[in-house]
């Protein structure tokens, strides 16, 4: 859908007649782009088809290009999609800059463009397109930081749930959050390169105020990169820790099953031995023989259980002694 915005008294106003011509200093907002929108952007606004396809490519990286009639800027913006498995994503947005028209193209809706359209961004002016671009990138960094904090809060909640009971659902949610952090880190680093190019290049005529804003945007972007890297490292360590816990729990279960199978092996050997074609003891004693054989099996199992438990206790004592000795050695090194 294509929407045309003008500015009156410092506020963006939507033009009801989208086909009106002769307007100056307008913002053409193209979101949720359809085939008809692509045709309009190509024929009415003269945007090259390959540039439109690059903007609609979900994996396109940030960059700036100079054409004969316009300047093309592609940046990455954060998007929250609650219906998807990976809720936090990034999408490319294309900014096409003409002398009197600025066009933004995005294949989906995003909070950054929505906030600009709802006049939630202060100091926005269509009389200064470079300032408009810096405000857009600044808003993107703000949304990045907010989404990163939300990801950190969600991971903390999932971690608390996993401490009570480890389930596949929570582990998959952590994996999806880790994917979101990877997407954010890649997009933020791509935007950082774009900001450096905007600072060094002369394609955009930036005044002193715009350069100051751009420096602030670079600082916020670097902060977002550091936060994303930190949260990603924490998430990776958390996943490794839970993998170790799962492996440890599996070892404990297998150890218990091994002990049970060893205990049951003794009566199984006895009954198997007397199941052969040999004379059975106490075969003529009736229930007395059954009682004696049963008592022998029970006593054998009981003795085997005691021996295995004593061995387990000895192993635990050895581990405790090793832990105390290692702690003493560490304390001696610290002193």
Tell me which of 206, 225, 245 is where a domain ends: 245
Q: In the chain, pLDDT over 70 holds for what percent of residues?
A: 85
Q: If you average pLDDT over residues 54-70, what whole number do you get?
A: 89
Q: Is there a single domain that holds both residue 125 and residue 27?
A: yes
* β-strand partners of 90: 78
At 334 the pLDDT is: 43
Instruction: Say yes or no: 224 and 135 in one domain.
Output: yes
Among 71, 318, 289, residue whose Cα is nearest residue 198: 71
- DSSP label at 76? E
The CATH number linked to 198 is: 3.30.460.20
Residue 227, domain extent: 2-245
pLDDT band, residue 141 (cuts 50/70/90) = very high
Q: Does some domain include residue 105?
A: yes
The predicted model gives 74-99 an average pLDDT of 91
Residues 170-187 pLDDT 10s: 888 888 898 999 999 999
Does 268 map to a domain? no
Count of structural domains, the chain: 2
pLDDT, tens digit, for every residue of 301-313?
777 777 777 767 7
Same domain for 230 and 293, yes or no, is: no
Q: What is the mean pLDDT of residues 196-223?
A: 86
Same domain assignment for residues 170 and 287: no
pLDDT given for residue 202 in this prediction: 79
Assigned domain for 32 exists: yes
Do both 319 and 185 map to the same domain? no
Do 91 and 77 touch, CB atoms closer than 8 A? yes
pLDDT > 80? residue 324: no
Looking at the domain assignment, is residue 329 inside a domain?
no
pLDDT over threshold 50, residue 68: yes
- C-alpha 33/C-alpha 42 separation (Å) is 12
> What is d(CA 200, CA 217) in angstroms, rounded to the nearest whole number?
15
pLDDT at 255: 81
Q: Which residues of 21-37 are buried (b: 16+ CB within 10 A; e: fewer)?
A: eeeebbbbbbbebeeeb
In a domain, 251, yes or no: no
% of residues, the chain, pLDDT over 90:
23
Q: Is the pLDDT of residue 331 over 60?
A: no
The runs of H, that is alpha helices, within 78-207 are: 111-117, 129-164, 168-200
Q: Same structural domain for residues 241 and 278?
A: no
Q: CB–CB of 25/7 below 8 Å? A: yes
Give the tokens for residue 123. Answer: 């100091």
Across all residues in the chain, what is the average pLDDT? 82
User: Residue 80 falls within a domain, yes or no?
Assistant: yes
- Tell me the C-alpha distance between 134 and 195, whole Å: 9
Q: Which of 245, 261, 296 is at the close of a domain?
A: 245
**Residue range 87-103: average pLDDT?**
91
pLDDT of residue 17: 59
- Please give the Cα distance from 156 to 33 (Å, whole number): 37
């Amino acid at each position: 859908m294509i929407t045309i915005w003008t500015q009156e008294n410092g506020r963006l106003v939507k033009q009801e007649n989208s086909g009106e011509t002769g307007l100056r200093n307008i913002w053409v907002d193209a979101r949720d782009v359809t085939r008809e929108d692509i045709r309009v952007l190509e024929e009415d606004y003269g945007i090259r088809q390959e540039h439109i396809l690059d903007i609609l490519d979900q994996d396109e990286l940030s960059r700036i290009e100079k054409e004969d009639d316009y300047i093309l800027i592609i940046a990455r913006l954060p998007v929250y999609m609650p219906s998807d498995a990976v809720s936090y994503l990034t999408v490319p947005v294309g900014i096409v800059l003409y002398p009197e028209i600025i066009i933004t193209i995005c294949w989906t809706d995003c909070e950054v463009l929505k906030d600009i359209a709802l006049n939630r961004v202060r100091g926005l002016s269509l009389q200064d397109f470079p300032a408009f671009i810096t405000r857009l990138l600044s808003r993107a960094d703000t949304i990045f930081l907010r989404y990163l904090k939300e990801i950190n809060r969600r991971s903390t909640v999932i971690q608390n749930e996993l401490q009570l009971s480890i389930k596949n659902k929570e582990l998959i949610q952590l994996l999806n959050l880790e994917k979101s952090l990877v997407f954010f880190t890649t997009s933020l680093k791509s935007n950082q390169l774009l900001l450096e190019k905007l600072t060094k290049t002369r394609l955009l005529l930036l005044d002193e105020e715009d350069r100051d804003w751009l420096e602030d945007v670079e600082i916020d972007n670097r902060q977002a990169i550091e936060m994303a890297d930190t949260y990603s490292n924490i998430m990776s360590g958390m996943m490794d820790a839970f993998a170790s816990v799962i492996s440890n729990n599996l070892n404990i279960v297998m150890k218990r099953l091994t002990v049970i199978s060893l205990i049951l092996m003794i009566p199984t050997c006895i009954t198997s031995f007397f199941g052969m074609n040999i004379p059975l003891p106490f075969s003529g004693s009736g229930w007395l023989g059954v009682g004696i054989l049963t008592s022998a099996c029970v006593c054998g199992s009981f003795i085997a259980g005691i021996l295995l438990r004593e061995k387990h206790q000895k192993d635990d004592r050895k581990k405790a002694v090793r832990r105390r000795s290692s702690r003493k050695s560490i304390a001696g090194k610290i002193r």
